[in-house]
Structure 1
Amino acid sequence: MDIAALSTGMSQASLAQAVSVKVLGMAKDQGSEQGQALVQMMEKKRTTTSWGSTGHPGISTSYS
């Protein structure tokens, strides 16, 4: 293998690795954003739902 072909191969491998790292970072950021949105949605639902003092549907602390 000559030097030019070796250099081209190394450059392509480096580019592929850089692209993979960038895509992985984008996926991580998207997952983090979706997780934050899910937490906000759950908190909003928790504050707007009337489930009594136990916080669980169908379970009440009153014994009447």
Structure 2
Amino acid sequence: MVGEARYEARQAEDGKWMVMDRLTRLPAATDGRDLVGLSAEDARDIADVLNRSTDERGRSPLL
């Protein structure tokens, strides 16, 4: 996954959006809350912030 963004905004089957962790293939979560049921704009913004915060080794700011 070197050089690829770890987090991506993805539309769920119900039409709402989530932030997906491409490493675990699960929704990203913070404070015990999955980042699901979001607007497209919020999911993209959160994924962007998380990707900019991930360090050079790919470690997540959420861990």
Same fold judged by TM-score > 0.5? no
TM-score, normalising length: structure 2 = 0.28
Q: Which has the higher strand share?
A: 2
TM-score where L is the length of structure 1: 0.28
Larger-gyration structure (1/2): 1
Which has more helix, going by share of residues? Answer: 1
Ranked by relative contact order (alpha carbons within 8 Å, sequence separation 6 or more), the top structure is: 2
